[in-house]
Every structure is written in C-alpha cells, then in structure tokens.
Amino acid sequence: MTSDPIFKSFFINECEELSAMVELNPGFLRVTAVPPNAFLVQFICKGLLREPGGEIEEAPAFVVGIRLPANYCREAPDPTAIAHVIAPHHPWHPNVHGPSGRICVGHIGPSTSVADLIMQIYTILIYRNYATHDGLSPEAAQWARHHQDRFPLEQPRPIHLPPNLITS
C-alpha cells in the first residue's frame, strides 16, 4: 500500500463503495481492486472494435484497467493516463487510442470517485459520449462523424448507486 494515509483511506473507501455498486448492478459490472492503486472493471455492454482486416464490429463486453496515480487525492490526473481498455484488443472509439487502449475520460478533478470514472467510461464505450474533432483516434473520430445515426450503441442503463454515493 502507499504510504500516503489520505490515499490509502480513499482507496479503501472506494473498494467498499464499488462493492456495493456491483451488488446493485448484477450482470452489468464486475470490479476487482488491485491494491495499492488500481481496479479492473468488466463492462457487459456493447462497444466497437476494429478487426485486423479493418471491419468495425460490435463487442459485447470490455475489460478496462483504472490506475490511480499516487497524487490522485491532491492533483487532477492526466485524463488520458488513468484508464485503458485491456480487452478486447483494438477498441474503436474517438476517445480511445486503439493500439494502446488509452481512454480519454474527460475532465476529472482530484479524488473523483471511481464510481464516477466507471460511469464516464461506460458512456464512452456505448458511444453516448464521444469527441469527433479532438479525440485520441482521429480515424475513429472521422468514422464516427459519418455514422452518428448508430449511436448510442445501446440505450444507457440506469446505473444504481449505493445511497452514500447519491448526491442531490
């Protein structure tokens, strides 16, 4: 574990909240904590990938890694360095750098909850949220501009949050 007591407390709290979130959303999310600072998240949702031959195909699930930097509770992280698609290979999205799988999650502040990051990544995967002009994948951005009638790939599901994560 990290020696920063604030981050350690944050990580433990996030693990507890995510456990409750997974229980409230069966069949949609699986989250595994990887101490001292990471999470593996499996999303059961439609997204796109690019096959080696160039075809764009739907994928039924994605595994995303989230790694929180040591100074996460004190400074806003680089939005392109915190999350990446692990599987399937070759994700196809303007906000995802295909070869590396890096995801641009957009603006996030210090100590943004991992639940909020998960919700943001979900909207990216299903193409509810995508950049057509300044994304990490210009080729996917150009493709998305010409296929906007396909999005979102599925109707966004309501993600149920534990009562302590609901803000009014």
How far is Cα 106 from Cα 89, in angstroms, rounded to an integer? Answer: 22
Per-residue confidence (pLDDT) for residue 1, from 0 to 100? 47
Per-residue confidence (pLDDT) for residue 23, from 0 to 100? 92
**What pTM did the predictor assign?**
0.93
- Angle between helical axes of 114-125 and 5-24 (0-180°, round to 10): 50
User: How much of the chain, in percent, has pLDDT values that exceed 90?
Assistant: 82
How far is Cα 47 from Cα 87, in angstroms, rounded to an integer? Answer: 11
pLDDT in tens, 45-68: 999 999 999 999 999 999 999 999
Burial class (CB in 10 A: 0-12, 13-18, 19+), 155: exposed
Token pair of 83 as six digits:
């999350």
Assess whether pLDDT exceeds 90 at residue 2: no
Token pair of 68 as six digits:
């929180």
Per-residue confidence (pLDDT) for residue 29, from 0 to 100? 92
Provide the H-helix boundaries in the chain: 5-24, 114-125, 138-145
Per-residue confidence (pLDDT) for residue 135, from 0 to 100? 84
In order, the DSSP letters of 19-39 are HHHHHHSTTTEEEEEETTTEE
Per-residue confidence (pLDDT) for residue 167, from 0 to 100? 57
Between 3 and 94, residue with greater pLDDT: 94
How far is Cα 90 from Cα 113, in angstroms, rounded to an integer? Answer: 27
pLDDT in tens, 111-168: 999 999 999 999 999 999 998 888 899 999 999 999 999 999 999 888 887 777 665 4
Token pair of 99 as six digits:
């070869």
Per-residue confidence (pLDDT) for residue 61, from 0 to 100? 97
How far is Cα 74 from Cα 101, in angstroms, rounded to an integer? Answer: 26
pLDDT in tens, 12-36: 999 999 999 999 988 899 999 999 9
Average pLDDT, the chain: 92
